[in-house]
Structure 1
Amino acid sequence: MKRTGLSAFIALLVGALLSPQASAHPHGWIDLSVRVLTDDNGVVNGLHQTWRMDPFYSLLVFEELQQVENANLEQGLDQLGKEIRDNLARQHYMTEVRINNEPQALGEVSEYTAMERDGRLTFMFILPLETPQPLANATLTYQVFDPTYYLEVVHEEDGGQPRDNALVLHGEPDCELAILPADPDPELVMQAALLDKDESGEPGLGRYFAETGRIDCR
């Protein structure tokens, strides 16, 4: 691989990680945790998301960043974080949020960071709601998914069950929190399994394989 500079490598890497034209069955995964942000009045204003890229992609990132001329790992991660943020912005941050089943408009991400943590590439960001909404007597649900299903997004888990800290809410003790597993139609499962590496599935295929985070404050 010819080293043409950090910017060229970052562009290629982000394209491989989050390309909207990637093949449709998952070739990697992201471990997700979400903290729902509320103010003192129980009004939700955003989701603090932590994504941990799988070990293979993480290893690729760190090895390549270390070989880019005239750049250190910290500089590379800073630029990678910006490129990931910019790419995600074009895909609505791969996140859908609903309150009482009504879709919520999302704001622009301005707080984010990419880092190495325990050998994994970790991307953290705050995704604001365009208009903060009260949680009292309401139900908030969200899904985070790659529309192409190239990358599978799953909440952090132990022993096949979501961790207690995979979904966290502060300030509303009467709310019930749950992470609901995906339940795709068997035909869609077969469709995804049969896709070759050079084939793409229908737009939005990843939605059917997405877990749902739910905060019920009714």
Structure 2
Amino acid sequence: MRTLAAIVLICTATAPQAHPHIFIDTGLTAIVDDAGALQAVKVTWAYDAFYSLLITEDYGLDPDGNAVLTPDEEAQLRGFDMQWIEGFDGDLVARLDGGSLELSRPRDVTLVMREGRLVTTHVRDVAGTPAMAGHILSMKPFDPTYYTSYDVTMNVRVQGLEGCAIVRNLPDLDAGMQQLQGALTKLGRDQDAIEEGFPEVGEAFATEVEITCADR
């Protein structure tokens, strides 16, 4: 997907404000309690090196430019990506057997700089704590406007419940590319996508994770 995103930027260079602009490797953990109920989802975001550099510069950190942060500098940055506006869903859609799950705002936020990349985690509680065993949990991280590209390249796992199968359903990239190019061509050369509103094509490029746990 990172390769695809780079191709998108090149192929749509003539379109106004071609995107995505931010690239995030993503990991997901379903947290299940002893009774088999889904308590929360832990999300890991590993930002691309360039965006990580921009953030550290914006905060006036890492003055020597060696892409290494001290524990104090990491503490200053912790939560920089958790200032969610009203209505923002955390770029994550979760469903159980096709029905939408309500997720809380983030808690237990962490941040480290790893090999020049900012890596953050946060936990979101699941309303109603539904049973996992015998059901299918699907999670799809994506930015509807595709300004940010999420790649599910990191670990996906279930914590607290055995016998679960995990499948990554990859998107149809050709169809997604056609949808993106079609949306961008509707903008004139003199139009700014930020002012006009980015086309909501992000889901077309999203990987859906399905977790199926055996019935007890």
TM-score by length of 2: 0.74
What's the counterpart of residue 15 of structure 1?
none
Change (3 A) 1:49 1:116: same
Q: Which runs of 5+ in 2 are unaligned?
A: 1-16, 64-68
Distance in 1, matches of 2:80 and 2:59, equals 14
- Give the one of 134, 141, 161 matched to 1:137: 134
Q: Which runs of 5+ in 1 are unaligned?
A: 1-22, 157-164
Matched, 1:207 2:198: no
What's the counterpart of residue 89 of structure 2?
92
What's the counterpart of residue 110 of structure 2?
113
Q: Is the 8 A contact 1:31 1:53 kept in 2?
A: yes
Q: Is the 8 A contact 2:31 2:160 kept in 1?
A: no
Change (3 A) 1:217 1:207: same
Distance in 2, matches of 1:102 and 1:25, equals 31
Distance in 2, matches of 1:127 and 1:191, equals 35
TM-score by length of 1: 0.73
Q: Is the 8 A contact 1:113 1:123 kept in 2?
A: yes
Q: Name whichever structure is richer in helix by fraction.
A: 1
Distance in 2, matches of 1:131 and 1:24, equals 40
Q: Give the stretch that moved more between structures: 72-81 or 52-61.
A: 72-81
What's the counterpart of residue 37 of structure 1?
31
Change (3 A) 1:88 1:114: farther
Q: Which SS does the other structure have where 2:129 is aligned?
A: strand
Distance in 2, matches of 1:63 and 1:76, equals 12
Distance in 2, matches of 1:89 and 1:44, equals 25
Q: Which SS does the other structure have where 2:162 is aligned?
A: coil
- Give the one of 169, 173, 177 matched to 1:180: 169
Quote the offset at 1:115 in angstroms: 2.2
- Point out 4+ residue stretches in structure 1 off by more than 6 angstroms: none
What's the counterpart of residue 190 of structure 1?
181
Cα-Cα RMSD? 2.8
Aligned length: 185
Quote the offset at 1:73 in angstroms: 6.1
Distance in 2, matches of 1:88 and 1:122, equals 21
Matched, 1:54 2:48: yes
- Give the one of 145, 148, 154 matched to 2:145: 148
Distance in 2, matches of 1:81 and 1:24, equals 30
Q: Which SS does the other structure have where 1:187 is aligned?
A: helix
What's the counterpart of residue 157 of structure 2?
168
Quote the offset at 1:29 in angstroms: 0.6
What's the counterpart of residue 217 of structure 1?
213
Q: Which SS does the other structure have where 1:115 is aligned?
A: strand
